[in-house]
């Protein structure tokens, strides 16, 4: 089907403007950028100056709104903006990677939303940012863009079927998290460590505000409030741990409240957020890699998380993965969700372990990596409690056990059109890569790997996430897997 027919089917027409409330959001953006000037105007406390600043801001943002239009034309989304200097931006339908709907508290209060259209070359910022449009219009426009993209990339018969499909397809919920599950995700995930990273600098508040400690000493006697009994020390530690974990849980609730993972035909839909409600839609055909992550604590609890890498941005941080990640789910649900994301990839097969020589190498690496901390701990104990110096040697068997655990986490498998790889001791990551999505591959071996006949396979895929790897495998096996990845062999090694 021609792109003109697709545009007609999506209801495109003359250039359209954003919502009439857009100048309010433009003004907020300008005030945040020019906050020193805004503070200066307010500090002068001259009514005429404040009124003049508000009038100038409203006039400028109104002109900005009037001169910004968007159009669904044949084969592309067209955006024109600029008052004095005009800017034309054209995004072909087949280049669109993801369309997100963002609703902050003010958006939800006023019944509007921000529509963000992203492409592979958009960098960190969205390629097109429509701020703001009515919620209904944003949802309809997002559906139109996704249908137009599917039609532009499909064969003529498939394009005709896509255009003939109903505008509102049935949504099938794959996973919905309760508030308790979202809180558990924050407590057992990386948010707990992030909270510690924030609380650590706060402990230096007395250095930032020298008068604060004097003010506190005038009102509180440190000796009277300090815990003096073992029970009091334990109580203080428990209260501190409760505050720490409570902040991690609260942070997770703010970000992932109401998390819902759903499918609408060939699209993946993720909704999350308490104050800022985000709704991301990604065509499943754009998925490149699925990672199943299991930290040590979550493995004990029978839980995991899933991260998705798409063919979207190529920024240094994998922003798509963070938006589309499943924060936590039961391990028993992993294969079900994986089968929805990558049909025929589930269940994850039994992985093949690396050769025994890799076990010795991983144990030696664990000991060598732990050597500097062990030596440092021994030196400290020698200086403070000399008889306790041999205690530092306990780090050697612990390091060996860590290396052994890292070896036991390694593995790979090849089934159908998918390559499976696993690594990580503390956080075990199982990577599922559709072989057809691999861009290229390489086999690399360090000097020490070559001495024992080992190598690591690197699989290059689109997107900005980590490179999938099959680590510490026998060199002939890694080379055979490379031939499979680049499409020269259809059989599993």
**What pLDDT is attached to residue 396?**
84
**What pLDDT is attached to residue 33?**
76
**What pLDDT is attached to residue 445?**
93
How many residues in total does the chain contain? 493
**What pLDDT is attached to residue 493?**
45
Other CB atoms within a 10 A radius of the CB of residue 236 amount to 13
Q: What angle do CA 396, 399, 400 make, to 5 degrees?
A: 85
Please give the radius of gyration of the chain, using alpha carbons only, rounded to the nearest integer: 28
Other CB atoms within a 10 A radius of the CB of residue 33 amount to 10
The pTM of the full predicted model, rounded to 2 decimals, is 0.78
**What pLDDT is attached to residue 349?**
94
- Give the pLDDT means over successive 10-residue stretches in the chain (493 positions): 48 78 87 73 70 82 91 86 86 83 89 86 66 89 82 53 53 93 90 65 53 55 60 78 88 92 88 89 86 93 92 51 80 94 92 94 88 79 73 81 92 93 93 92 92 94 84 94 77 45
Helix axes 191-202, 179-188, angle to 10 degrees: 60
Domain coordinates in residue numbering, the chain = 3-171, 179-256, 260-353+410-485, 356-407
């Amino acid at each position: 089907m021609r792109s003109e027919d697709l545009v007609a089917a999506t209801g495109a027409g003359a250039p359209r403007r954003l919502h009439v409330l857009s100048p309010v959001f433009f003004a907020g953006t300008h005030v945040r950028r020019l906050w020193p000037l805004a503070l200066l105007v307010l500090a002068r406390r001259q009514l005429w100056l404040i009124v003049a600043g508000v009038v100038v801001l409203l006039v400028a943002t109104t002109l900005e709104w009037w001169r910004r239009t968007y159009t669904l034309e044949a084969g592309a989304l067209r955006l024109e903006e600029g008052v004095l200097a005009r800017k034309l931006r054209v995004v072909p339908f087949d280049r669109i990677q993801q369309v997100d709907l963002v609703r902050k508290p003010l958006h939800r209060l006023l019944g509007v939303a921000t529509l963000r259209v992203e492409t592979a070359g958009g960098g960190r910022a969205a390629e097109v940012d429509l701020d703001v449009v009515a919620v209904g219009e944003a949802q309809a426009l997002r559906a139109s863009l996704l249908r137009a993209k599917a039609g532009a990339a499909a064969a003529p018969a498939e394009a005709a079927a896509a255009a003939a499909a109903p505008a509102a397809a049935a949504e099938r919920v794959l996973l919905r998290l309760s508030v308790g599950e979202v809180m558990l995700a924050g407590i057992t995930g990386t948010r707990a460590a992030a909270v510690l990273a924030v609380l650590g600098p706060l402990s230096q508040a007395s250095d930032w505000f020298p008068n604060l400690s004097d003010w506190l000493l005038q009102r509180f006697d440190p000796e009277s409030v300090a815990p003096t009994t073992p029970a009091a020390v334990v109580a203080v530690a428990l209260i501190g741990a409760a505050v720490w974990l409570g902040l991690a849980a609260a942070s997770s609730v703010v970000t992932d409240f109401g998390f819902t993972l759903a499918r609408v035909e060939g699209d993946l839909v993720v909704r999350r957020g308490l104050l800022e409600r985000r709704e991301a839609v990604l065509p499943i055909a754009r998925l490149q890699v699925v990672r199943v992550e299991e930290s040590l604590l979550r493995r004990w609890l029978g839980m995991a998380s899933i991260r998705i890498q798409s063919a979207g941005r190529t920024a240094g941080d994998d922003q798509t993965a963070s938006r589309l990640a499943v924060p936590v789910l039961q391990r028993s649900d992993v294969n079900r969700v994986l089968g929805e994301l990558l049909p025929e990839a589930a269940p994850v097969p039994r992985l093949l372990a690396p050769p025994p020589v890799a076990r010795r190498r991983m144990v030696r690496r664990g000991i060598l990596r732990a050597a500097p901390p062990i030596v440092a701990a021994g030196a400290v104990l020698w200086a403070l409690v000399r008889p306790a110096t041999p205690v530092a040697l306990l780090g050697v068997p612990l390091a060996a056990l860590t290396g052994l655990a890292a070896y036991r986490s390694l593995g790979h498998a090849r089934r159908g059109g998918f390559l499976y790889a696993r690594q990580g001791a503390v956080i075990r990551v199982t990577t599922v890569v559709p072989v057809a999505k691999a861009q290229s591959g390489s086999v690399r071996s360090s000097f020490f790997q070559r001495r024992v006949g080992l190598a690591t396979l690197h699989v290059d895929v689109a997107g900005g996430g980590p490179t999938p790897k099959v680590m510490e495998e026998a060199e002939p096996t890694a080379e055979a897997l490379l031939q499979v990845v680049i499409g020269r062999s259809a059989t599993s090694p």
